[in-house]
A and B are shown apart, each in its own frame.
Chain A
Amino acid sequence: EPEVTQTPSHQVTQMGQEVILRCVPISNHLYFYWYRQILGQKVEFLVSFYNNEISEKSEIFDDQFSVERPDGSNFTLKIRSTKLEDSAMYFCASSTRIGLAGLQETQYFGPGTRLLVL
Chain B
Amino acid sequence: DAKTTQPPSMDCAEGRAANLPCNHSTISGNEYVYWYRQIHSQGPQYIIHGLKNNETNEMASLIITEDRKSSTLILPHATLRDTAVYYCIVRVSGKAAGNKLTFGGGTRVLVKP
Residues of chain A at the chain B interface (Cβ within 8 Å): 4, 31, 33, 35, 37, 42-45, 48, 55-56, 58, 89, 91, 93, 95, 98-99, 101-103, 105-112, 114
1/0 contact trace for B28-40 toward A, CB 8 Å?
0000101010100
Main secondary structure of the interface of B (DSSP, over half): loop
Main secondary structure of the interface of A (DSSP, over half): strand
Which one of A42, A107, A109 contacts B104 once the chains associate, using CB atoms below 8 Å?
A42
In the complex, what distance in Å separates the CA atom of A89 from the CA atom of B42?
9
Which one of B49, B99, B100 contacts A103 once the chains associate, using CB atoms below 8 Å?
B49
Within 8 A of A (CB), among B28-83: 32, 34, 36, 38, 41-46, 49, 51
Contact A43 B42 (CB under 8 A): no
Q: Classify chain B's interface size.
A: 20 to 34
Residues of chain B at the chain A interface (Cβ within 8 Å): 32, 34, 36, 38, 41-46, 49, 51, 87, 93-95, 97-105
